[in-house]
Amino acid sequence: MFPSTSLASVFLVLFLCLNGVSSSSTPTKIGKGYRLISIEETPDGGFLGHLQVKQKNNIYGPDIPLLQLFVKHETQDRLRVHITDAEKKRWEVPYNLLPREQPPALNQAIGRSRKNLITVQEFSGSEFIFSYKADPFSFAVKRKSNGQILFNSSSDESDPFGEMVFKDQYLEISTKLPEYASLYGLGENTQPHGIKLYPGDPYTLYTTDISAINLNADLYGSHPVYMDLRNVNGQPSAHSVLLLNSNGMDVFYRGTSLTYKIIGGVFDFYFFAGPSPLAVVDQYTTLIGRPAPMPYWALGFHQCRWGYHNLSVVEDVVENYKKAQIPLDVIWNDDDHMDGHKDFTLNPINYPRPKLLAFLEKIHSIGMKYIVIIDPGIGVNSTYGVYQRAIANDVFIKYHGKPFLAQVWPGAVNFPDFLNPKTVQWWGDEIRRFHELVPVDGLWIDMNEASNFCSGLCTIPEGRICPNGTGPGWVCCLDCKNITKTRWDDPPYKINASGIQAPIGYKTIATSAVHYNGVLEYDAHSLYGFSQAIATHKALQELEGKRPFILTRSTYVGSGKYAAHWTGDNQGTWENLRYSISTMLNFGIFGVPMVGADICGFYPQPTEELCNRWIEVGAFYPFSRDHANYYSPRQELYQWESVAESARNALGMRYKLLPYLYTLNYEAHMSGAPIARPLFFSFPSYTECYGLSTQFLLGSGLMVSPVLEQGKSQVKALFPPGSWYSVFDMTQTITSKDGQYVTLDAPLHVVNVHLYQNSILPMQQGGLISKQARMTPFSLVVTFPAGASYAAANGSLYLDNDELPEMKLGNGYSTYVHLYATTNQGTVKVWSKVEEGKFALQKGWIIEKVTVLGLDGSGQPSALEVNGNPVVGASKVGLSSMEQKYHEDVQVGDIKKSVAVEVSGLDIPVGKDFSMSWKMGTSR
């Protein structure tokens, strides 16, 4: 939460202009690069080489004279290229935070002896070929199957970039790109041009709290990975490139090239072969960690606000949601529950513990949950037990041997050092103590970039209170002086921090501050939120042995293994509603699938119409939460009757889809597959959708096409080739032969959601709380291409005890159902194959209804059999059909008449294999 940075930004720009900081002075080509002087094979099947600088220069500091190159095909679809100083260990992302293979130890003798044991210039694996040129050294990565060059670091005279540069505080490397490559990723930032990277836009990676309203700026997370999707002669292929480096960097994308300029660390490239977008994310999350399993309730709707001044307000919110019949699973507190904004405390007047415990007992009894915020800054206060124990355990980041002093909401704070094992232990103990005070169901870790209201070296002022309780709490009131005397605080190359080339210590921890084992904040800065999420996850899991739920603002490569993410402080504007889709889709690519934006905007208050449209999008975010600013008027969904109606409609559908969303959550945990996906994930051959940022898929075939513009009651939506069925009205069909845009009606309370052909969608009846909705009967929706004589469809359903830390089959507390259907010359079959059926049988779940869409409509359904037994007239099972309607914008052409057939009154146990069939009969 951070109300406004605009005024601070204005002053900062003025400061920078006066001090003559400019990126335009950056030399385009620096030095002559390196030459390869030795290369040999390593025992583990890799290649080890040494590079010597060709001609030294002092632009951005002296060159590192000798480098070690290590190349290895780590798996059949992953290639690693690691380049570091050959003589001295350099900073890398810690191997204990992000477990991976270690490169060979530095061996100075090889480089000096100029061994040249291998003259081969190509190094082939299953999917990739690594090739190199020796002088000046450059490398290329090719796809083995077709020879396509995916990465090429060589520089020609005509290129706008030079040879590889490797200095202590400045690393540069580039790759050529074909013009037809579509790139995605490089976040976190708010991208005004949509999900595709846009040539000329700045991409700076350095975790910063400047609010998501800032476009094209480095925001809360750092994800130095991009996906590259190409379509050559109708053949699509995707690959991904990760540069595993936590130092600040600028990435310059020019359309035909991409250049990294990094202020430290090493080159540690990982290439993922794909070739499908889903395969890329699978391979990526195999390395960085599979996304965390979410508890079932986390997929329900969440309500939060900064400014719930006391417990009675929170109680009213819960009651009003119930009165308005709007689903609600989780109620949140921002820092209002705290005593003086201090972590792990309760305000004794506004949130008295006995009353809060009674409230929690009441909501827990019906399945609702409660989550509160924790900021990393620990208030400097000698009477505060958390601070006392922190000092006793020596857990804080240091500056000149003393805890680094900063200011956040409690006033003066110190920041815990989560790279220190002692800190992780202390943090876990504080969470345990707090949970004994208040049995919260999850934790929200915010302000962990880390955010600081001051800059530089600060002291607590004498003779005045800081903060004094008047005016905004985010104004710095400590006595501070700038720190520019070290090369860490004032590096030779200035990244475009905060989008305005701010000093890298601006409003965060000074970069010359020191972590555990002498690690500099300069190197570890962007890992702060990631390391806090790991510590928080460990603490929650040890607490009660339950599946943790953590929401974090700051993220890094691998954060999805521990936490969900929301997109930070957005605005209640139509533009911000649109931007939220691109940011959400990016995080799926980053391996953080549980993501969403503040519904209706964090500040200022949205219009009634915008809030209507926002809940129609937000109801389908993987993480769905309404959240607002302290200074904004109230915007809970029941505040306007029109918004309440839209919420009942959209969230009503979400709650029916919970079994599908939970199955997607399982798939994300098993394979990294994003929950919300760009359309190109399912339609990589259809280039029209490569830049589409106004629609999205949930899973492989459920498409959301929302209204994103003011005053519109229609939406122009792209329909890739095939048949699509409205889930709100299953008689409505859109079949586009080659893909086309269709204008859909979308009055104020309507959002268009369509299911693609060849799918089987498991649904339930919904409810106001996921715990209740979860026990209602199931229905299956089967979709075939409209009027097809032969077709097959499939789907799946995963069910488990969602409190268990692990999400897996084989533990006796989970069931997986494979769903299949075919139509073949008038015979329709639907059946299942169940793995581990015991859990579902114990729960008593049943399938009550099966609806099949797109059947050849020339005959009537008859001869229904369930599990091999004919269904006779006296049975309560009913068989009915209804003709489907085609959209007026779509040229139906040679598509046959199609019908929807519904089988109702069933009582099929979910945990047992079943089969059913019927005949479509002959035309009357």
Among all residues, which ones are annotated catalytic?
446, 449, 569
What is the distance between the alpha carbons of residues 875 and 147, in angstroms, rounded to a whole number?
A: 62
Do 855 and 828 contact (CB within 8 A), yes or no?
yes
Biggest alpha carbon–alpha carbon distance for the chain? 95
In sequence order, what are the beta bridge partners of 768? none
What is the distance between the alpha carbons of residues 221 and 526, in angstroms, rounded to a whole number?
A: 7
What is the distance between the alpha carbons of residues 205 and 495, in angstroms, rounded to a whole number?
A: 9
What is the distance between the alpha carbons of residues 624 and 598, in angstroms, rounded to a whole number?
A: 8
CA-CA-CA-CA torsion sign (174, 175, 179, 182): negative
Segment (H or E) for 442: strand 442-445
Distance (Å) of CA 212 to CA 30, 148, 191, 533: 34, 37, 10, 21
What is the distance between the alpha carbons of residues 606 and 613, in angstroms, rounded to a whole number?
A: 11
Q: Which of 857, 902, 895, 856 is nearest to 877 (CA)?
A: 902
In this structure, which amino acid lies at residue 692? L
What is the distance between the alpha carbons of residues 316 and 305, in angstroms, rounded to a whole number?
A: 13
Assigned token pair, 818: 């494979």
Unique residue bearing structure tokens 């600060």: 458
The per-residue DSSP string of 822-865 comes to EEETTEEEEEEEEESTHHHHHHT-EEEEEEEEEEETTS--EEEE
Under 8 Å CB-to-CB from 528, ≥6 apart: which residues? 207, 376, 415, 418, 448, 449, 450, 509, 554
Under 8 Å CB-to-CB from 616, ≥6 apart: which residues? 646, 649, 650, 706, 707, 750, 751
In sequence order, what are the beta bridge partners of 735? 723
Give the number of other CB atoms < 10 A from CB of residue 362. Answer: 12
Do 84 and 67 contact (CB within 8 A), yes or no?
yes
Coil, helix or strand at residue 805: coil
What is the distance between the alpha carbons of residues 46 and 922, in angstroms, rounded to a whole number?
A: 66
Strand pairing of 814-824 and 411-414?
unpaired
Assigned token pair, 892: 């139906």
**Angle at the Cα of 512 from the Cα atoms of 507 and 517, rounded to 5 degrees:** 120
CA-CA-CA-CA torsion sign (714, 720, 721, 726): negative
- Running DSSP on this structure, what letter comes out for residue 195? S
Assigned token pair, 553: 């603002």
Unique residue bearing structure tokens 């969403």: 596
Q: Which of 786, 232, 833, 205 is nearest to 504 (CA)?
A: 205
What is the distance between the alpha carbons of residues 283 and 285, in angstroms, rounded to a whole number?
A: 6
Strand pairing of 760-763 and 732-736?
unpaired
Coil, helix or strand at residue 253: strand
E-only strand ranges, 557-674: 564-566, 595-596, 598-599, 624-626
Unique residue bearing structure tokens 């900063």: 406
In sequence order, what are the beta bridge partners of 719? 740
Cα-Cα-Cα-Cα torsion 532, 538, 544, 548, nearest 10 degrees, comes to 60
In sequence order, what are the beta bridge partners of 499? none
Segment (H or E) for 320: helix 311-323
What is the distance between the alpha carbons of residues 346 and 431, in angstroms, rounded to a whole number?
A: 13
